[in-house]
Amino acid sequence: MNLKQISICFLGFASGLPYMLVFVTLGTWLAVINLDLATIGFFAWIVLTYSLKFFWSPLVDNFSVPILNRYGARKSWIILMQILIIIFLLLISITDPLTNLSLFALFAFFVAFFGSIQDIAIDAFRIELAEIDEQGNLAASYQFGYRIAILVATSGALILASRTNWPFVYQLMSLFMILGIIGLLLVLIKIPRLNDEIIPLKPLS
């Protein structure tokens, strides 16, 4: 694997982790503490942020994040979203769903929302990172990282929770998000400024 593939692999991991933590693992946590099924089912609606991300994709395509945009438009969104996901995963870990369920749900919503924006930026960044003949390898690298994230955020998290506690699990998962930042740094070190200005993607002819 070359540096671009390793970078995209790490970004794929960072993309899959928050999705599974909110969509699957969070429901298990709530079931373990004996919340009713109706409440747990309500949390499934949070994942609609991923299905509706076409609403805010124009925002990512046409704007960049001030200060961070010195590294490039796509990367500015990725960096900001990863930082926010880490913060809100930590907030989830220190919030008791039994005593403050509304706040717990709000934090989970923000993890899903920021995760959906991160997905948009990573997809655009991956496409613009290399020529067409490299796209297959980059897509495979992304999927590999994503699948590893699924295992870590589901089976890994459940095994760890059985031996420790749920707050610790989510704190550890927030640290794993740093792999996405490392993935960006790998490319920044090699190529300080990639050509990822805000240019709408054109369909392949």
DSSP class of 95: S
Q: What homologous superfamily does CATH list for 3-33+46-190?
A: MFS general substrate transporter like domains (1.20.1250.20)
pLDDT digits (tens, 9 = 90+) for 134-174: 888 899 999 999 999 999 999 999 999 999 999 999 999 99
The token duo for 64 is 């960049």
For residue 202, pLDDT over 60 is answered with: no
What pLDDT was estimated at residue 175? 96
Distance CA 153, CA 170 (A): 9
Burial of 45 by CB count in 10 Å (0-12 exposed, 13-18 middle, 19+ buried)? exposed
H-helix or E-strand spanning residue 186: helix 178-190
What pLDDT was estimated at residue 203? 42
For residue 131, pLDDT over 50 is answered with: yes
| Contact by Cβ (8 Å): 78, 10 | no
For residue 133, pLDDT over 90 is answered with: no
Mean per-residue pLDDT, 184-190:
77
Q: First and final CA of the chain: distance in angstroms? A: 28
From residue 154, give the alpha-carbon distance in Å to each of 16, 49, 149, 169, 173: 11, 20, 8, 11, 11
Mean per-residue pLDDT, 106-127:
94
The token duo for 98 is 């039994």
pLDDT digits (tens, 9 = 90+) for 44-75: 888 889 989 889 888 888 888 888 888 888 89
Q: Taking the domains of the chain in order of start, what are their residue ranges?
A: 3-33+46-190
> Of 13-22, 185-194, 195-204, which one has max mean pLDDT?
13-22
41 confidence band (pLDDT: 50, 70, 90): confident
Sign, Cα dihedral of 81, 143, 200, 194:
positive
Look up residue 203 and give its amino acid. Answer: P
Q: What is the residue-averaged pLDDT of the chain?
A: 88
What pLDDT was estimated at residue 190? 58
Mean per-residue pLDDT, 92-117:
95
For residue 1, pLDDT over 80 is answered with: no
